[in-house]
Amino acid sequence: MAQQVFAQTEAFDDDFESQFLEFEKTQQVIEGEIVRGTVLAVNKEFVIVDIAYKSEGQIAVSEFTEHDGTVSVAPGDIIDVYVENRENENGLVELSKEKADRLKIWDEIAEACENEELVEGVITARVKGGLTVDIGVKAFLPGSQVDLRPVRNLEKYIGQRFHFKVIKFNKKRGNIVLSRRALLEKQREALKSQTLGKLEVGMVVDGIVKNITEYGAFIDLGGIDGLLHITDMSYARVNHPSELFEVGQEVKVKVLKYDPDRERVSLGLKQNFDDPWLAIDSKYHVGQRAKGKVVSLTDYGAFIELEPGVEGLIHISEMSWTKRVKHPSKVLSLGDEVEAQILEIDPRGKRISLGMKQIEQNPWDVLASTYPVGSKVKGTVRNITNFGIFIGIEDGIDGLCHITDLSWSHKVKHPQDIYKKGDEVEAMVLNIDADKERFSLGIKQMTPDPWGDIDRRYGRGSTHEGKVSKILDFGAIVELDEFIEGFLHISEIAEDKVENIHSVLAEGQTVKVKVISIIKEERKLGLSVKRVGQDDDDFSYENPNIGPTTIGDLVKEKLGNMKFS
Q: What is the pLDDT of residue 540?
A: 46
One fold for both 199-272 and 363-446? yes
Angle formed at CA 252 by CA 249 and CA 254, multiple of 5 degrees: 135
Angle formed at CA 137 by CA 132 and CA 139, multiple of 5 degrees: 35
Helix (H) or strand (E) holding 464: strand 463-472
Angle formed at CA 440 by CA 439 and CA 446, multiple of 5 degrees: 130
Cα 20 to Cα 26, 57, 68, 86, distances in angstroms: 10, 21, 47, 19
**Are β-strands 351-355 and 310-315 bridged in parallel, bridged antiparallel, or unpaired?**
parallel
Q: What is the pLDDT of residue 557?
A: 52
Please, are residues 428 and 375 in contact by the beta-carbon 8 Å criterion?
yes
The backbone torsions φ and ψ at residue 502, rounded to the nearest 5 degrees and listed phi first, read: -65, -15
Q: Could you read off the pLDDT of 447-477 as tens digits, one per residue? A: 888 888 898 999 999 999 999 999 998 999 9
**CATH architecture for segment(s) 363-446:** Beta Barrel (2.40)
Please, are residues 358 and 341 in contact by the beta-carbon 8 Å criterion?
yes
Q: What is the pLDDT of residue 507?
A: 93
Cα 269 to Cα 58, 145, 197, 257, 265, distances in angstroms: 69, 32, 22, 13, 13
* Range of weakest confidence among 225-239, 298-312, 364-378: 364-378
Cβ-count burial 521-548 (b if 16+ within 10 Å, e if not): eebbbbbbbbbeeeeeeeeeeeebbbbb
CATH number of 199-272: 2.40.50.140
* Amino acid present at 530: K
Superfamily of domain 454-561: Nucleic acid-binding proteins (2.40.50.140)
Alpha-carbon span 322 to 300, nearest angstrom: 17
Closest-CA residue to 57 (of 44, 48, 67, 45): 48
* Amino acid present at 474: F
Of 14 and 82, which is predicted with more confidence? 82
Please, are residues 274 and 234 in contact by the beta-carbon 8 Å criterion?
no
Q: How many CA atoms, within 13 angstroms, populate the side-chain half-sphere of residue 257?
A: 10
- What is the mean pLDDT of the segment spanning 216-220? 91
CATH number of 116-184: 2.40.50.140
The DSSP 8-state label assigned to residue 349 in this structure reads T
Sequence length of the chain is 565
Please, are residues 165 and 179 in contact by the beta-carbon 8 Å criterion?
yes
**Are β-strands 93-96 and 524-528 bridged in parallel, bridged antiparallel, or unpaired?**
unpaired
> Is it the case that residue 111 has pLDDT exceeding 80?
no
Please, are residues 430 and 375 in contact by the beta-carbon 8 Å criterion?
no
* Amino acid present at 163: H
> Is it the case that residue 236 has pLDDT exceeding 60?
yes
> Is it the case that residue 551 has pLDDT exceeding 50?
no
pLDDT band at 553 (very low <50, low <70, confident <90, very high): low
Q: Could you read off the pLDDT of 375-432 as tens digits, one per residue? A: 999 999 999 999 999 998 887 788 999 998 898 877 788 998 889 999 999 999 999 8
Q: Decide: helix, strand or coil at residue 113.
A: helix
Q: What is the pLDDT of residue 32?
A: 67
Superfamily of domain 31-115: Nucleic acid-binding proteins (2.40.50.140)
Alpha-carbon span 487 to 180, nearest angstrom: 106
The backbone torsions φ and ψ at residue 266, rounded to the nearest 5 degrees and listed phi first, read: -105, 135
**Are β-strands 310-315 and 93-96 bridged in parallel, bridged antiparallel, or unpaired?**
unpaired
Query: What are the boundaries of each domain within the chain?
Result: 31-115, 116-184, 199-272, 277-359, 363-446, 454-561
Q: Decide: helix, strand or coil at residue 281.
A: helix
> Is it the case that residue 93 has pLDDT exceeding 50?
yes
* Range of weakest confidence among 91-105, 235-249, 270-284, 517-531: 91-105
Alpha-carbon span 270 to 355, nearest angstrom: 29
Please, are residues 222 and 191 in contact by the beta-carbon 8 Å criterion?
yes
**Are β-strands 438-442 and 264-268 bridged in parallel, bridged antiparallel, or unpaired?**
unpaired
CATH number of 277-359: 2.40.50.140
